[in-house]
Structure formats: C-alpha cells, structure tokens
Structure 1
Amino acid sequence: MHICFLTNEFPKAGFPHGGIGTFIATISKALVEKGVKVSVVGKNYTPNADSEVVNGVEVHRLHAKSIKGLAWCFNTRVIAKKIEAIHSKTPIDIVEASDMGLAFLPKLKGIAYVIRMHGGHHFFAESEKRKVGVWKGFQEQLSYKNADAFVAVSDFVKTHTSKYLSLDNRPVERINYPINLNHFQPLKITSTPFKIVFAGTICEKKGIRQLIQAMANILEDFPEASLDICGRDWFYPNGDSYIGMLKATEVPKLKQGSGSVTFKGVIDYNELPKIYAGAHVCAFPSHMETLGLVAPEAMCMAKPVLFTKEGPGSEVINHGNTGLLCNPYDPSDIAEQIKWVFQNPEAADEMGVNARESVLQRFNINIIVEQNIAFYDRIINSNKS
C-alpha cells in the first residue's frame, strides 16, 4: 500500500506549522511502522524545492509560484507532475488531501482520491456566520466532486459539511485524529500555581480575545493568576497583527493585571509537552473546531483542560468528568470554569487522570492507524472492482 498525502504544512525545522501538519506527521510515521509506504507532496516553506526522508516518510517540498491570480494553476501543475513521477516509480494507491486540495488536480488511473474533512471553507463560513466566498466555494465544490471517498475527523464536521457539499453516497468514515502517546505523557514537572496556558493560532475564532477578557474576573479572586499565550500570529487582510490588536485593546483593560498576560510566540513541537506540564490548567475556548488537537494532547498529559462546548466539544470532553466545557463567547463562563479548577485541586487532578484515560481509549495512535489502514484497504479494493 502506498499513500500520498498532499499538504504544505508538513513540519520543517525553523518554520511554524498547523494542526494538519502535525496530524500528517503523526499518522505517516505510524503507517510506515505498519509497512505502508508514505509520500508527502506540497509547496515548500522557502522559494526552492527539496526532498528528505523523515521517519521513513518521503517528503517532497516543491517550489511555489507566486504569480498573482495564476499561482493556483502553476502550483497545481507542479504538484500533479510530482505525483505522476512518484506514481510511475512506485504506484500510488491513495492520494489524500484536505477539503480544497483536489480542486484542479487531474486524476490518474488506478489511484483513489480521498478528502479528509479537516474543516473547509463552507464549514467555517457557517460557524463564523459569514458568506461563502465565490472563488473558495467553487474550489471546494470542485474538490469534493473529484473525491472518491471521505474521512471525517468528527461526527460534527461530517454532519455540517454535508449540509453544503454533496457526498453522493460515496464512502465516508469518521476517524478521530491520533495523539502521539509517547510525545504527550505526564512529565515530572511541577506546574506553576494558577498558570493558564493557551496554545494555537492567535486569531478570533480560537476564542483568545474572550480568554483575555476572562482574566479580569479571574484576577479578582486569584491575583497571582497568569496566562501564557503560545502560537503564531494571525494577520488581517490589510496586514495588521491580531496580537497587536489584543495588546492595544484588550490587555490594557486588565489594568494592574496586564502583566499577567504573556505572548510566548511559536513554541517548538518538541517543547510543547513541557509547556502543558507547567500549566495549572490548559484553556482552549475556540468558537469552532473540527475536532482539534491541542485539547486531547493536553488531556493525554493528565492536565485539567477547558475546551469549547460548541461544535465537537462534547465529542472530546465529558464535562465535569474528563474536562470542562465552556461557552466560548462568554468571558464570565470561561472565568468560572477556570476558577473551579483553582478552587478544587483534588477534583481537578482526578479530572486530569480521567482525561488521559479517555485519550488512551479514543485517540490512541495504535488503534487509529489500524482504522485508517482498514479504510484505505476498503477504498483500494472498491477502486479496483
């Protein structure tokens, strides 16, 4: 079996990447260990092409064109040629892409094309209550039309995506994201009392603005409380920094507690477990997620975790047992949930233990890799018949 993932986010030293890159790096390594050949194809982080083997995975980063209005055409052509070259050498069984990834890609005979629903343009347009863009909407519709099968990372993303994009009775499987159990495990590091840790892209839909607003309430009862914000900045269409906006408009409202909020920048993936381990509570009050990786990663380390009750939140956390769920639009609710952790240390510790056990059962890479292989086998056999 030969799987080819299409992504521009496969982790590369010195460059930040998102959750899709983390997922593909994790599942690819596990597939290789099961005897599956894995290739990764995507645009490079730098203006050149290079290839390397990472944990047995052949990673091909291609030179990205930047011709205004035509970059999509040239880049698709380059990716298509690389897939064809790889396929001619070692036949590919499955090409897998995210929601928009198959839009203009020519299909090769003998290959099945799969979309993994990581949360596309239509999905987030609904959750963010904005219109579907004409160009992006067209690309996603075309991509879904070209797919032979789908993997949904949560029941929620499957249900809400299918409201807008036809699956046409093609195979759809719900398979959770896997968590690297060796990387995220309890560490012998003493947590800092009343330290709150957030990790993720610093943008509106991650609920970070409401989390900072919640600090005013938290600091009234726990003046020692602090919030470490870890992640890359997001920029408005005009180039303005989202972090800059927060520092200018939200942090000053904390008055004497303004020094309690620290922007830590991008944290290396290898250092992330230490960051979680040092937290009293990890908070991720996203307005919307397809499933999310940060919550189950922190749960796997037996940390008390606050997650969103929106979207798939209840698929990840059983409120009060394996973690806490909040209204991500309500700073007072966010504050109350975090203060509960501070006020109930023994119950919070027990919650962390339950959280880890839950992840070991439902996000275990050893189980999920087998689910992926079984799904791929089914699609490959169906494609041959």
Structure 2
Amino acid sequence: MHIAFLTPEYPHERSTPSGGLGTSIRNLAETLVEKDEKVSVLIFGQEIDRNFSENGIQFYLIKQRKYPFGGWYFYRKHLEKIINELTEEKQIDILETPDWTGITAFMKFCIPHVIRLNGSDGYFCELEERQQKYKNRLFEKNALKNADSILSVSDFTGKKTMQLFDLERSYKVIPNSIKVENFRPSTKKPETGRILYFGSLIQKKGVLELAEIFNNLIQEKPDAQLILAGRDVIDIFEKISTLELLKRKLSEEALKRTEYVGSLDYSMVRKEIEKASVIVLPSFAEALPMTWIEAMAMEKALVTSNIGWAPEVMLDQKTGYMVDPRNHKLYASRILELLEDAELSEEMGRAAREQVLKKFASRLVAEKNIQFYQELIEKKKN
C-alpha cells in the first residue's frame, strides 16, 4: 500500500518550521515504513520545489506560489494537479490531509481521500472564543464535506468539529502516537523543585494562567523553580510577546524563580523533561497534545488542564492531576503535592508511561491506521 500525506509542515531541516501536526505525521510515516508500507510526504507552502528520499520516505517540497488574484483557488488547483499526477506515476493508493484551513477545498482526487482532524482553524477559534474568518470557515467545511472519510485524533475534537460545521458525518478516532523508544524514562533523579512547561508560549496553552499559578505556589514553596521552554509567540490580543505578558503577571518573588530557556530542539527538550520534578501543561485548546504524551512516556507526573480532550489522554489522580487552569490555588496545590511527595510522583509517572504504551505507542497506532486505510480503499473500489 502506498500512502501519501499532504501537509503544511514536517520536522525536517529542509522544510519550513514545524509544530505538533508535523511531528504526529512524522511519527506515523516512519512507523508505516517500518511496517513495509510505502510513504510519500508532500509539504506545501515551501520556499522552493525540491524532491528527495530519506529513511524510506519520498518527500516532495512544493513551493508557495503567488498569483495576481485568486491565489487561494489557483494554488489549490496547482496542488491538486501535482497530487493526481503523482498518484498515477507513483501508484499512490490513498491520500491523507489535515483539516487546518481546509486546504483540499475544491480539489478532486482519483484515489480515496481522508481528512484527519488535528484541530481546524474553526475548532481553535471556537475553543478560544474568537471569530473565525468567513473564508476559512467556507474552505474547512467544503473540505470536510467532500472527503471520502474522516479520522479524528480525539472523540472530543470529532464531536466539536461536526457540531461547529453543522455536519452529519461519522468519523473514526485514531489518536496521535509517539515512538516510545525515543522517550525513555531517565535514570537520573530529577532536580528538586524544578517545574517545566514546554510548548509554544501562547495564551491558548494556558501560559498566562501559569503565572498566577506560580505566584500561588511560590508562597508555599519559595525554592520552587519554573522553567519555560518553547517559541515565544506575539499575543493575538495584546500584540506583544506572550513571555513579556507572563513576566508582568508574575510576582517579584516568582519572577526571580522563573527561567525562559528558549525554543529547543527535540534532544534538548528531552533533557529538560528529564530534569523536571513536575510537568505543567495547563492548555485551553488542543486536539490531542503531543507534549502531554511525550512527558508521560518519560514517566513524568503531569498537572494538566481538565478540558475536553484531557480524559482521553490522562487518568486523573493516576497519571497525574487534571485541573481547571483558572482555579489557580487548586492547580498550585496539586503541583506542590507532587513536589513534596516523590514516591507519589514516581508512582504516577510509571502509570503515565503505561498509559502511553497501551494507547499511544506508534506501532500500535500504525496498525489501526493501516487497517483503516485498507478498509477505505476496499470500500472505494466497491
């Protein structure tokens, strides 16, 4: 079977920067190749056109084109032409695309096409209580209506998306996955009182709530330290650095105990996770967060948000704690509990890794995807 992925991002040095969507595609693509499936990855919106093969995956970087008018339509038709030509030339069996901005709106393919819900623009606008642009809503709804089938990384995301776009379509839930061998538990003891947040510094990830939470925590545990790792994003509302907004919210004592280590590559992120006693991820808007799964795989107890998708990843009071990030005192008390009870923290960390091995290990998830692809191909043939 030959599977093609169309994506705006992929974590590779030759392509433009990537986030969680690209990471989830890479984890699946690499595991599919390990299972002797053929994989092509088409990355659009790139700086240049370039084709190359690496680790058994064929890559097609597709340059972003400019048009005097109607670029949203003509670039889609450009992508459609490339995909259909490659389908015939390389005998591609199935195409998977993301829901983000409805890139496949008004496209037609000669093979089965599945959209995976990782969180559309409309989905995140809904969770963040922002108005979505009409054009983006039109594209995303059109793409979802015309796909042959729909996958969702969480049931919450699937339900919310169907409600949002007023669609009566079924979907199958297959979560994102990680290569657990790349996120092994550390043999070193974590640093006492060290708390880690990793991911983009942006309001929807609960970063500003984290300032208030840490203000509460530092009163009870003055030697605690908050480490922030990730890309600093300009706040959509205030139009300034989110890191600067966070610093303004921190008390004088909390600010002294907060360190921003910047945007790190994967190897450095793993080292930060190893050193942390507790991982805090108070996000308001996710589909199925890779950061949570990665930390859990490394046997770290987490304090996360309790919103929507959270129970599909975490087991409250077993793999860590799920708390509403706006409840600053309770959130801080849960962090403090884990900082002061190493045995409890280790117990929850072990349970967290077990949860990942059972639900999110790439080999298990890849098998579910393969079965889904095969069934869709057969259904389309008949």
Q: What TM-score does the superposition give when structure 1 sets the normalisation length?
A: 0.93
Deviation at 1:261, TM superposition (A): 1.5
Q: Distance in 2 between matches of 1:108 and 1:330?
A: 48
Question: Residue 136 of structure 2 aligns to which amino acid in structure 1?
Answer: K
Question: What does residue 219 of structure 2 align with?
Answer: 220
C-alpha displacement at 1:105, in angstroms?
4.9
Partners of 1:16 and 1:325 in 2: how far apart? 31
2:163 match: secondary structure: coil
Per the alignment, residue 232 of structure 1 pairs with 231
Structure 2 CA distance for partners of 1:36 and 1:269, relative to 1, 3 Å: same
CA RMSD of aligned residues (A): 2.0
Which letter maps to 2:127? S
Asked if the contact 2:162–2:169 (Cα under 8 Å) also holds between the matched residues in 1, the reply is: no
Aligned partner of 2:31 in structure 1 is 30
Partner-residue secondary structure (3-state), 1:162: helix
The residue number in structure 2 matching 1:384 is 381
Tell me, in whole angstroms, the C-alpha distance in 2 between the residues paired with 1:49 and 1:342. Answer: 50
* Matched-pair contact (CA < 8 Å) for 1:10–1:24: yes
Distance 2:267 2:379 in 1: 39
Q: Is 1:151 the equivalent of 2:148?
A: no
* Offset, 1:42: 1.9
Counterpart amino acid of residue 331 in structure 2: I
Residue number in structure 2 paired with 1:114: 114
Corresponding position of 1:175: 174
Distance 1:208 1:355 in 2: 23
Task: Name the amino acid aligned to 1:6.
Answer: L
C-alpha displacement of 1:166 = 5.0
- The residue number in structure 2 matching 1:354 is 351
For this pair of structures, how many residues does the alignment match? 379
Structure 1: how far apart are the matches of 2:188 and 2:78?
47
> Residue 312 in 1 paired to residue 313 in 2?
no
List runs of 5+ in structure 2 lacking aligned partners: none
Q: Identify which of 305, 319, 322 aligns with 1:322.
A: 319
Structure 2 residue identity aligned to 1:113 = H
Per-residue displacement from partner, 1:326-363 (whole Å, max 9, x unpaired)?
11222222211111101221111111111111111111
Is residue 153–residue 175 contact of structure 1 (8 Å, CA) maintained in 2?
yes
Seen in structure 2, the aligned counterparts of structure 1 residues 231 and 141 have a Cα distance that, compared at 3 Å, is: same
SS in 2 for 1:299: helix
2:296 corresponds to which letter in structure 1? M
Measured in 1, the distance between the counterparts of 2:12 and 2:68 equals 26
Q: Tell me if 1:80 matches 2:77.
A: no
Give the aligned residue type for 1:324.
Y
Deviation (angstroms), 1:116: 0.4
Identify which of 263, 277, 280 aligns with 1:280.
277
Structure 1 counterpart SS, 2:22: helix
Distance 2:336 2:66 in 1: 48
What percentage of residue pairs aligned between the two structures are identical? 30
Letter in 2 for 1:8: P
Which stretch of structure 1 is more off in the superposition, 198-207 or 254-263? 254-263
Distance in 2, matches of 1:339 and 1:52, equals 50
Q: CA deviation at 1:230?
A: 1.1
The AA in structure 1 aligned to 2:154 is: S
Residues 52, 59 of structure 2: 8 Å contact kept: yes
Gaps of 5+ in 1: none
Tell me by how many angstroms 1:177 deviates.
1.0
After TM superposition, list the pairs within 5 Å mapping 1:250-265 onto structure 2. 250=249, 253-265=250-262
Cα deviations across residues 284-340 of structure 1 (Å, max 9, x unaligned)? Answer: 000122121111110111111111101111111111111110112222222111111
After TM superposition, the structure 1 = structure 2 runs for residues 34-183 of structure 1, keeping only pairs within 5 Å, are 34-43=35-44, 45=46, 47-66=47-66, 70-99=70-99, 100-109=101-110, 111-165=111-165, 167-169=167-169, 172-183=171-182
Using the alignment, how far apart are the partners of 1:265 and 1:146 within structure 2?
41
TM-score (norm 2): 0.93
Is this contact kept in 1: 2:202–2:235, CA < 8 A? no
Distance 2:301 2:139 in 1: 40
- CA–CA distance in structure 2, aligned partners of residues 74 and 169 of structure 1: 28
Is this contact kept in 1: 2:184–2:298, CA < 8 A? yes
> What is the rounded CA distance, in whole Å, between the counterparts of 1:28 and 1:331 in structure 2?
40
SS of the residue aligned with 1:310? coil
Mapping for residues 237-252 of structure 1, pairs under 5 Å: 240-247=240-247, 249-250=248-249
Kindly provide the amino acid, as one letter, of the partner of residue 21 in structure 1.
Answer: G
Q: Could you say if the C-alpha distance between residues 169 and 246 of structure 1 is closer, same or farther in structure 2, counting changes exceeding 3 Å?
A: closer
3-state SS in 2 of match to 1:262: strand
Q: Distance in 2 between matches of 1:279 and 1:328?
A: 20
Q: Are the structure 2 counterparts of residues 167 and 53 from structure 1 closer, same or farther at C-alpha, using a change threshold of 3 Å? A: farther
Q: Which residue of 2 aligns with 1:12?
A: 12
Structure 1 pair 105–184 and aligned structure 2 pair: CA distance change class (3 A): farther
